[in-house]
Amino acid sequence: MPELRPRRQINITFKCNLSCPYCYVKNFKPEKKEISLSSFSKILSWFKKQNIQNGVSILGGEPTQHPKFDKILESMEKNELKSTLYTNGLTKNPLYLLSDSINYIIINYNHPPLISKEKQRKIEDTISFLTGKKNFTLRLNVNKYTDISEIMKICKKYNINSIQLSLVFPSEKRDNLFFKRGVLKSESQKLYEYIRELLDTGIKASVEEPLPFCAFDKKERKFLKKEANLFGECGSGRLYAINPDLSVVPCVIFQESLPKVFLTDFENEKELVEHLEKFTSSLKWEKYLFEECKTCVFNHRKLCQGSCLTYKI
Ligand SMILES: C[S@@+](CC[C@H](N)C(=O)[O-])C[C@H]1O[C@@H](n2cnc3c(N)ncnc32)[C@H](O)[C@@H]1O
Ligand code: SF4
Ligand code: SF4
């Protein structure tokens, strides 16, 4: 089941010090690449009016590369806002990661050949630095270069017993490295096998995007729901993303599929979410990813939307 409470993602910069070929931000050309401190304050005031102090993620691009990242953290601290930080682990100053405004960190774990051995070592330095100081996890975006033993090694070394896994989904313009619709079910099955393998070595992995339920048999689905938090409907709409120019989209990937709206166009979050959900709800339940979805009980019962919604645009 998706999270029922709203979740907010703030893209503080679209610049990045890596260029992961699967990244959905790849070649993305926003009007404004970096948020200004005054725009960031506007978000904080809008949140404050509605008593929002949790359920906020900071991402991008690479958020730690924002030239005023320290000031952004300070302003969140002042407003007693607690956030989850998404980072590639290649930060200039790991001390920033200890800010009280960050209560959880999700490190995008890349390994060669997608990054150099030297960069992999730097990510490991960040993991080592954070160990025992901050709650964090690793996220692995499974792609055609994935070697599951790489993440197993690092988990064993640093005693990490729970990670996140995702298949790579398409960017809005299909200009990234992603799994095509035709292999989505077989790749989902591969993901299931990785989850079993990881669990056998004591590492619990949760899936971070909706997967097609029919990629699994009944027993596998039951296992994945229990052990890996398998879900079939995403939160987009209730989950929304705020860009550096304060435009708002339902989920970071839909940058151009909707007429542009801004955070400050809305009196409150309820109005905003209602507006965004009109778009996501029809994509979820009235547009079919596979022919068989039309007559599928999981679709009719609104349990499985097919997969990530970008496959449907
Ligand atoms: C765009 S990144 C921005 C934050 C930071 N640079 C990082 O890599 O974590 C946000 C999250 O999206 C994930 N991500 C990027 N491209 C993806 C894709 N095509 N499919 C699934 N997840 C993706 C990353 O692993 C990361 O967890
Ligand atoms: S996934 Fe993160 S680290 Fe990789 S290119 Fe995208 S924004 Fe940068
Ligand atoms: S809704 Fe579509 S993708 Fe989901 S289980 Fe049914 S047929 Fe498969």
CATH of the domain at 219: 3.20.20.70
* Residue 166 Cβ contacting ligand 1 at under 6 Å: yes
The reported pLDDT for the residue numbered 101 is 97
306 belongs to a structural domain: no
Mean pLDDT of the chain: 94
Contact 206, 191 (CB under 8 A): no
Q: Give domain status of residue 286, yes or no.
A: no
Asked if residue 11 lies in contact with residue 244, where contact means CB atoms within 8 angstroms, the answer is yes
Contacts for 263 with CB less than 8 Å, ≥ 6 apart: 42, 43, 46, 242, 246, 247, 248, 272
Total domains, the chain:
1
Domain assignment present for 232: yes
Establish whether the linkage from the previous residue to 113 is cis, with ω within 30° of 0.
yes
DSSP letter string, 88-127? -S--S-GGGGG-TTEEEEEEE---TTSS-HHHHHHHHHHH
Helix (H) or strand (E) holding 250: none
Phi, psi of 86, rounded to the nearest 5 degrees: -100, 125
**Ligand 3 center from residue 189 Cα (angstroms):** 14
How would residue 313 be classed by pLDDT, with cut points 50, 70 and 90?
confident
CA 296 to centroid of ligand 1, rounded, Å: 30
Q: How far is the CA of 175 from the centre of ligand 2 (A)?
A: 14
Residue 181 · residue 202 · CB < 8 Å: no
- Between the CA of 118 and the centroid of ligand 2 the distance, in Å, is 17
**pLDDT mean over 115-122:** 96
Closest by CA position to 64, among listed 129, 7, 152, 118: 129
| Over residues 117-128, mean pLDDT | 97
Q: How confident is the model at residue 10 (pLDDT cuts 50, 70, 90)?
A: very high
Residues 235-272: pLDDT tens digits? 988 899 999 999 999 988 888 888 899 999 999 999 99
Quick check: is 105 in a domain? yes
| 183, 216, 289, best to mutate for ligand 3 pocket (most atoms within 8 Å of CB) | 289
Cα gap 231→306, rounded to integer Å? 11
Establish if 70 belongs to a structural domain: yes
Domain range for 142? 7-280
Question: Which is higher by pLDDT, 101 or 4?
Answer: 101
The pLDDT tens digits for 191-206 are 999 999 999 999 999 9
pLDDT of residue 32 exceeding 90: no
